[in-house]
Structure 1
Amino acid sequence: MADLGDLNAFIAVARAGGFREAARASDKSASGLSEAVRRVEASLGVRLLHRTTRSVRPTEAGARLIERLLPALAEVETALDVVNGFRDRPAGTLRLNVPVSAARLVLPAIVPPFLAAFPDIRLEITAEDGFVDILASGCDAGIRYDDRLEQDMIAVPIGPRVQRFATAAAPAYLARHGIPGHPRDLLEHACLRGRFSSGAIPPWEYERGGEIILVEPTGPLVVGIGAATDLVVDAAIAGTGIIQLFEDWLRPHLDSGALVPVLEDWWRSFSGPFLYYSGRRHLPAPLRAFIDFIGARV
């Protein structure tokens, strides 16, 4: 019988795609994780991971084991979490998967007071903009916008309930190239675009008086949405081109004058983000505490 801690180590390495990556995401050493995986493989008599100099990935046997282990380990966590009901304060780890925009614009106002109110809870946050199965990724909950919510999930509001996409440019750029008067004028300008991890480049959407216009402008710079967003903001401030991004993200630069609003009467509003989680499983005490905390702030 493999040790439960060793099985958790195997899962962590398989999820992270490497021993060093798994070590960085936990308080374990890469060598300790490697030894744990070796013990599991020795006790089962089968190789569970393909190891190369560049990556680590499950073998067919490893993939089948992960498939069966995940729900079993979740049940173990649920059983242990029952003890939380006998504590004065909830304790444990809460894992969230969130888009980079939420990590930047929503969570800074929530995380510090939440951790101050619940000092026995450890919060682990993964920020990425791809579509993720939160349960398969080992997370308790995620933050997404309503058009990205997964089926069979419960969603509760978190953060601002209305947001806008702002379009802006540096004064120097507008002085050289003029100010667009209509969204279609952007087709004649240098625009700074973002690309999802799937490879899709979303169009820029505008709305005024019930009229919706989608444009596909071009420009000298395309960045990955999320991790490289600050780069495209810096490029816009330097006068490279016109940017479209969350208004809250650009607000400090709009207020300082480093960027100037463009087509402001066309900016589109959309509903704010939601915290979502599975309604088919017992809610861990840390997640229950987080849901109640954000509910009290609405």
Structure 2
Amino acid sequence: MADPNLADLDAFVAVARARSFRGAARLKGVSASALSEALRRLEARLGSRLLNRTTRSVTPTEAGAQLLERLGPAIREIESALDAVNDSSDTPAGTLRLNAPTVVARHILPAIVNRFLLTYPRISLEVENNDSFIDVLAEGFDAGIRYEESLERDMVAVPIGPRLQRYVLAGAPAYLATRGTPRHPRELLAHACIRHRFASRVTAQWDFEKDGEVVRIAAAGPLIATSAELEAQAAIAGLGLICTFEEYLAEGLATGALVPLLEDWLPPFSGPRLYYAQRQHMPPPLRAFIDFIKTDNG
């Protein structure tokens, strides 16, 4: 049996991760038919089916899943080694893949990314939003961005963006005029509340803390959504109270369309961190990004 070449193995990893020939083709900048042919060659050489293909999905077989688990780290090390050979210390080049929570991707990364890409024009950046807790390396990302309580162990973490953030509880003036202003978190049980549901199907609870007292509220109300923007607009319309990242409510708070509530019950928390695995050959784009945010954060 002839040994499979690296290009065919790389094609398999791309398709298996994307769960789609078309999606992988877009990421790789090749045709879907070229990836399909590479998979045909690889399966023929190995004598084993690696992917189950239907008109709606592409999923790894048991053999494919085992191969993907072993190949992922090896492919990344090969890419890192090639990047290191081709790297110029003044002009790093290549692709940097990041995974970030939605709030970070929308409200924190834009200013950082714009300056970074202007500084390093030979680097291409791919950012994917994901609010779930995932193994970013196993999913093919160079690094992830998460908050301190959900960082993976054995990872190096570097602050990115604001050092502190906070949640804000707020309501529209018309709502407060009708329903009253809560003076304690427990009073929220008598209010209409607009809630957020994560992709995991878990609905967020509201946590408050003051002088050592911690109160967790299972709020209820007319709307549960997965879109923070939709939730903010519902609060502005007077449908209920909202508790979320300050960034999502900044415009409404600035114009007076929303009024902050129970501010002394919502202390600030640590901002997001870029996290990555320490390895011998770090991809030049990742090294450049780490150095950039360290300088950017002062």
- Tell me the TM-score normalised to structure 2 length: 0.93
Deviation at 1:63, TM superposition (A): 1.2
Alpha-carbon RMSD: 1.7
- 1:60-116 superposed Cα distances (whole Å, 9 cap, x missing partner): 111121122112212211220222444531001111111111101210120000000
Alignment-derived partner of residue 230 in structure 1: 229
Distance (whole Å) between structure 2 residues aligned to residue 244 and residue 86 of structure 1:
47
Instruction: Find the partner of 2:208 among 206, 209, 224.
Output: 206
Match of 1:264, as an amino acid?
E
Deviation at 1:270, TM superposition (A): 0.6
Q: Is the 8 A contact 1:169 1:236 kept in 2?
A: yes
Q: Is the 8 A contact 2:52 2:59 kept in 1?
A: yes
Q: Is the 8 A contact 1:90 1:118 kept in 2?
A: yes
Query: Residues 81-96 of structure 1: matches in 2 within 5 Å?
Result: 81-86=83-88, 88-96=90-98
Q: Is the 8 A contact 1:235 1:241 kept in 2?
A: yes
Match of 2:292, as an amino acid?
F
Unaligned runs of 5+ in 2: none
Distance (whole Å) between structure 1 residues aligned to residue 150 and residue 29 of structure 2:
32
- Secondary structure at the counterpart of residue 64 of structure 1: helix
Q: Tell which deviates more after alignment, 81-90 or 130-139.
A: 81-90
Flag the 1:283–1:250 CA change in 2: closer, same or farther, 3 A. same
Alignment-derived partner of residue 278 in structure 1: 277
Deviation at 1:3, TM superposition (A): 3.2
How high is the sequence identity, in percent, across the aligned residues?
A: 58
Q: Is the 8 A contact 1:98 1:126 kept in 2?
A: yes
- 1:147-203 superposed Cα distances (whole Å, 9 cap, x missing partner): 111111000111111111001122222222222121111101111111223332232
Alignment-derived partner of residue 40 in structure 1: 42
Count of paired positions: 295
Distance (whole Å) between structure 2 residues aligned to residue 20 and residue 286 of structure 1:
26
Distance (whole Å) between structure 1 residues aligned to residue 161 and residue 9 of structure 2:
37
Are residue 294 (structure 1) and residue 293 (structure 2) matched? yes
Q: Tell which deviates more after alignment, 120-129 or 72-81.
A: 72-81
- Tell me the TM-score normalised to structure 1 length: 0.93
Q: Is the 8 A contact 1:141 1:276 kept in 2?
A: yes
Distance (whole Å) between structure 2 residues aligned to residue 221 and residue 28 of structure 1:
43
- Secondary structure at the counterpart of residue 236 of structure 1: helix
- Secondary structure at the counterpart of residue 110 of structure 1: helix
Alignment-derived partner of residue 175 in structure 1: 177
Alignment-derived partner of residue 80 in structure 1: 82
Q: Is the 8 A contact 1:84 1:285 kept in 2?
A: no
Instruction: Find the partner of 1:128 among 101, 107, 130.
Output: 130
Deviation at 1:278, TM superposition (A): 0.4
Alignment-derived partner of residue 249 in structure 1: 248
Which aligned segments of 4 or more residues in structure 1 are displaced greater than 6 angstroms? Answer: none
Query: Residues 27-66 of structure 1: matches in 2 within 5 Å?
Result: 27-66=29-68
